[in-house]
């Protein structure tokens, strides 16, 4: 079920590609990211308030000792959510900004391919943290890399400033996935997401006020793509990521989330009528095969003792 949540998050992000591209026609990267992250945080506040109100009602109806224990665990969870949300936001904000600025200086196809390199970076980082990925995860990552190359790269591969910026973003997205992997089992996913967006939104807004000139009329004109990016891409999809990554291997999670690029291409085909070449279709097939591979159940070792 949690892996389906990750795939749903990837689907929402894939469709959000159009919204993010259109939104940049009305405002700069700092302004767009600041507005959408703050919007994502705001849409989660009513849900948090409602859940806490119900929780307080349950506590008031419970027995004294049990109620005290649940309230104490709740306070500890909120402190963890606060610390974890700030850490996740500190990783998410620069990752999104580096990617956005990189897209301004390179092609979307190259940016998509370089960003998805986190499917290799995550298991490599996992080794450094003492988590040895299964062999099929490496095979799946290699297949996915090949698929994304065929999907995104139509010409030769040459490096530019934009490519370097996008690669830094991929590294930071790797950090973001690993930070969520650490905090998601220890805190409420909705509260963690809300604080994450608030942190990233405040930082982006401050940078927008320093380096850009946010225009309220431009925000109004771009409200439709901004609303999708804020409500769906941030408020819904990133929350699904936090919840879905709980007890999910980060290397497997990165492969599932990397389906974002495939969904983006399919959304362009279905919604915008953009044609898919045989090369792109083969790339989609390779990535889909990689995702199926990492979902296969582990083979149990045979009991040689005969017991």
pLDDT at 210: 94
Task: Identify the pLDDT of residue 274.
Answer: 60
pLDDT at 252 over 90: no
Residue 86 belongs to a domain: yes
Q: Which residue has the higher pLDDT, 84 or 292?
A: 84
Split at pLDDT 50, 70, 90, the class of 55 is low
User: What is this structure's pTM?
Assistant: 0.76
Helix residue ranges per DSSP H, 106-160: 108-115, 118-128, 135-152
Residue 307 lies in a domain: no
Q: What is the per-residue burial (b if ≥16 Cβ within 10 Å, else e) of 261-300?
A: bbbbbbbbeeeeeeeeeeebeebbebbeebbebbeeeeee
Residue tagged 């989609």 (tokens): 284
Predicted pLDDT at 56:
61
Within a domain: residue 306? no
Count of C-beta atoms within a 10 Å radius of residue 35: 24
Please provide the average confidence, as pLDDT, over all residues in the chain: 78
User: 195 with 89: CB under 8 angstroms?
Assistant: yes
Count of domains observed in the chain: 1
pLDDT of residue 205: 95
Q: Is residue 222's pLDDT more than 60?
A: yes
- The answer to whether residue 77 scores a pLDDT higher than 80 is no
pLDDT of residue 140: 76
Output the CA angle 182-183-185, nearest 5 degrees. 90
Q: Is residue 301 part of a domain?
A: no
For the segment 87-92, the average pLDDT, to the nearest whole number, is 95
pLDDT of 48 reads 85
Q: List CB contacts of 241: < 8 A, sequence separation 6 or more.
A: 5, 6, 9, 180, 253, 257
Kind plus residue range of the DSSP H or E element containing 88: helix 64-103
50 lies in a domain?
A: yes
User: Could you give the CA distance from residue 274 to residue 193 in angstroms, rounded to a whole number?
Assistant: 34
Mean pLDDT of 176-189: 87
Q: How far is CA 220 from CA 23, 35, 63, 223, 224, in A?
A: 11, 11, 51, 5, 9
Q: Is 60 exceeded by the pLDDT of residue 300?
A: no
Q: Please state, in angstroms and as integers, the Cα–Cα distance from residue 275 to each residue in 87, 261, 268, following that order.
A: 41, 15, 8
Structural domain contains residue 305: no
Structure tokens belonging to residue 293: 């591979």
Alpha-carbon torsion (47, 49, 54, 56), positive or negative: positive
Residues of the domain holding 165: 2-295
What percent of the chain is predicted at pLDDT more than 70?
Answer: 76
Residue 302, in any domain of the structure? no
Average pLDDT over residues 258-264: 73
Does the structure show a pLDDT above 90 at 188? no
Say if 300 falls within a structural domain. Answer: no
Segment 211-238 shows an average pLDDT of 88
Query: What percentage of residues in the chain have a pLDDT greater than 90?
Result: 20
With the CA atoms of 244, 293, 139 and 264 taken in that order, what torsion angle do they form, in degrees rounded to the nearest 10?
-60
Question: What pLDDT does residue 296 have?
Answer: 59
**CA quadruple 87, 91, 92, 94: dihedral, nearest 10:** 140
H-type alpha helices, the chain: 2-23, 29-61, 64-103, 108-115, 118-128, 135-152, 161-183, 189-211, 216-221, 223-227, 239-244, 250-257, 259-271, 278-295
More confident residue, 21 or 94: 94
Q: What pLDDT is recorded for position 124?
A: 77
Query: Quick one: pLDDT at residue 63?
Result: 47
Does the structure show a pLDDT above 80 at 186? yes
What pLDDT is recorded for position 302?
Answer: 45
């Amino acid at each position: 079920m949690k892996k389906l949540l990750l795939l749903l998050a990837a689907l929402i992000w894939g469709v959000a590609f159009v919204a993010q591209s259109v939104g940049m026609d009305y405002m700069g990267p700092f302004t767009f990211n600041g507005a959408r992250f703050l919007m994502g945080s705001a849409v989660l506040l009513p849900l948090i308030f409602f859940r806490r109100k119900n929780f307080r009602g349950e506590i008031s109806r419970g027995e004294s000792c049990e109620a005290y224990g649940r309230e104490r665990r709740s306070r500890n969870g909120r402190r963890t959510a606060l610390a974890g949300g700030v850490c996740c936001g500190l990783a998410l904000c620069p990752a999104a900004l580096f990617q956005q600025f990189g897209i301004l200086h390179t092609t979307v196809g190259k940016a998509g391919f370089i960003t998805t390199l986190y499917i290799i970076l995550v298991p490599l980082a996992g080794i450094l943290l003492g988590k040895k990925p299964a062999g099929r995860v490496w095979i799946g990552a290699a297949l996915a890399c090949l698929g994304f190359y065929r999907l995104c790269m139509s010409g030769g591969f040459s490096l530019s400033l934009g490519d370097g910026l996008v690669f830094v973003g991929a590294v930071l997205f790797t950090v973001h996935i690993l930070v969520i992997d650490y905090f998601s089992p220890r805190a409420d996913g909705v509260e963690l997401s809300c604080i994450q967006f608030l942190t990233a939104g405040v930082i982006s807004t401050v940078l927008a006020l320093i380096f850009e000139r946010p225009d309220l009329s431009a925000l109004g004109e771009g409200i439709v793509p901004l609303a999708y990016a804020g409500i769906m891409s941030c408020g819904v999809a990133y929350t699904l990521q936090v919840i879905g990554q709980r007890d999910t291997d980060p290397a497997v999670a990165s492969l599932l989330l990397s389906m974002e690029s495939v969904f983006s291409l399919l959304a362009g085909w279905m919604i915008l009528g953009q044609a898919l070449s045989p090369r792109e279709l083969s790339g989609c097939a390779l990535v889909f095969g990689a995702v199926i591979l990492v979902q296969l159940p582990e083979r149990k070792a045979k009991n040689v003792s005969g017991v």
